[in-house]
Structure 1
Amino acid sequence: MTKRATHRVDYWRDPSAPAPTSRKTSASAFVRNASGDLLLLRRTDNGLWTIPTGAIEAGESAGQAAARECQEETGLEVAVTGLVGVFSSPDHVIAYMHNEEVLEVRQPINICVRARVVGGTVAPDPDEAADVQWVNPALLPSMQIHPALMARITHGLAEVGPYIS
């Protein structure tokens, strides 16, 4: 039996995007170091750069989920220090697919928290992160980042009050 390829397709403000079939809440960690660089990882499922992000599991808070996902994906342990915002724009949908068969189309709800590193060493999970880097914000325009994720990053860099969409 051959394993079928699993991948995701992110849509942003695309009138031809499939209609959502579900909503799921995730948490993400916006982490900067003392030099102001931003922690990014390159996803294995679509090759795009992102901040650590993943589903909030039963029995955990958004902050706990963001810290867990950051540690799982990057090897770094973080402490939550604040809120970047809640991102739930219907302009963003994600199609999860096996080969060309659409399994689910999700309209995500993301709670993005600010965090700081408190331990660990950079050690990407090869199933989730092809690479992990500290990136100077001036280099972000040259990186492949989905617009929905760039909205979180832009708001986080602005360091204004929490964003709600």
Structure 2
Amino acid sequence: MEIGETLQQCVVREVKEETGLDIEITGLLGIYTDPNHVIAYSDGEVRQEFNLTYLGRIVSGNITVSDESSEVRFIDPTEFDHIPIHDTVRLRLHHHAQDRETPHLG
């Protein structure tokens, strides 16, 4: 997040930087925390992961790799069982498929 921007502005900017796509925020899927999702980085830093997942829709742009991404593509949900996806991400994908009316909190 950059100084002076809202969280939603940050999401829109980051999506553009990493995918080439311009989006608009349409809602909040949820706030996700899992005390077991701990990431240890090669520099010795250790973090407990949390995530705010927004819903959005593409308004313009072209999907493209940037210096912040190594591969960018759309994936059909039928492929999810055949690719490595962390359990916390899998939960978010499951909630998105459910088209939930209220955000997940937890």
TM-score under structure 1 length normalisation = 0.59
- In structure 1, runs of 5+ residues without a counterpart are 1-55
The question of 1:152 aligning with 2:92 is answered: yes
| More displaced stretch, 80-89 vs 57-66 | 57-66
Cα distance, 1:62 vs. partner? 2.3
- Aligned residues between the structures: 105
Q: Deviations over 1:114-150 (max 9, x none)?
A: 0000111111113x32211111111111112111211
What are the superposed Cα offsets for residues 7-43 of structure 1, whole Å, 9 maximum, x if unpaired? xxxxxxxxxxxxxxxxxxxxxxxxxxxxxxxxxxxxx
Of all paired residues, the percent bearing the same amino acid is 35
Judged with a 3 Å threshold, the aligned counterparts in structure 2 of structure 1 residues 153 and 58 are, in CA distance, closer, same or farther, namely: farther
Deviation at 1:112, TM superposition (A): 0.4
- Which amino acid in structure 2 is aligned with residue 148 of structure 1? T
In angstroms, what is the RMSD of aligned CA positions?
Answer: 1.4
Higher strand share: 1
Q: Report the CA distance between 1:74 and its aligned residue.
A: 0.5
Output the amino acid matched with 2:20: G
**TM-score calculated relative to the size of structure 2:** 0.88
Query: Match for 1:117 among 58, 71, 85?
Result: 58
**Cα distance between partner residues in 2 of 1:91 and 1:65:** 26
Task: Give the equivalent residue in structure 1 for 2:40.
Answer: 95
User: Displaced runs of 4+ in structure 1, greater than 3 A?
Assistant: none
